Structure 1
Amino acid sequence: MKYEANSPETYISQLPEDRKQAMDKLRNTIKENLPTGFLETISYGMIGYVVPHSIYPSGYHVNPEEPLPFISIASQKNYVALYHMGIYTFPEVLAWLQQEYPKHVHTKLDMGKSCIRFKKMESIPYDLIAELCKKITLEDYLKKYEIEVKRITK
């Protein structure tokens, strides 16, 4: 689903009742556990946590006008999605997530390259997401991002 919003609060206010509480709790979990330097915003029609241009003026290599995305959350038609660029970029974080997930949730991990899908709001593992948010500092993310951009733009 696409929501027209200019703030996270407006985004959440537009959600169906069964999603508001889960998205609000997910948002707060991320905000409370994300390392310093990331900025909360609306990005690509979702609630996003980005590296602001004030820290990384080059922006996102795909669209330099946009700040570099790190984590986004969205209410989709059939699920809530958590997009985390770190699990795509840091294989050790992905391995950790895959190992830890079954300890917190009794259903199979449903994910793509950087997207974790939660179809049941009551099964969102907020404590695991809190740990995931702490795994990668802004500095480590930027170092890895620079390496990846050089690799793919050769």
Structure 2
Amino acid sequence: MKLLILNGPNLNRLGKREPDVYGSKTLNDLESFLKKHGESANVRVTMKQSNWEGQIIDWIHDAENSYNGIIINPGAFTHYSYAIRDAVAGITLPVVEVHISNVHAREEFRKESVIAPVCVGQISGFGFEGYLMGMDYFIRREGHGTD
């Protein structure tokens, strides 16, 4: 099985940006953590990050023929990117939305996701573990991560 993990704007600043909210670990730490978990379950993980909406949309479109599912942390695009929402709605792959912080316990504007309604689910507030929860969903869905 192959999973694409997409991270949106400012997630390249993990470890430096608001460590009281997002923790002290970096995006590279997250990638290592997820790839290690993937290897133990026979899942190939590809992780990408962009601060550019169009790049994320292109990756979503391109994923349809190469991956079994997508885990996306859209960052701030969560709240207003109808373009990313439409890209997710326009593919047949299942998508899980993930957030490191509990967006529902933060500022009011963070509580609304325009992307979640076209995803199979949303995971919020469990730090890096939320990505693992998303991966485990796909592993169970696809039959224990076998190709």
Return the TM-score normalized by structure 1. 0.34
Return the TM-score normalized by structure 2. 0.35
Rg larger in structure? 1
Structure with more relative contact order (C-alpha pairs < 8 Å, separation 6 or more) = 2
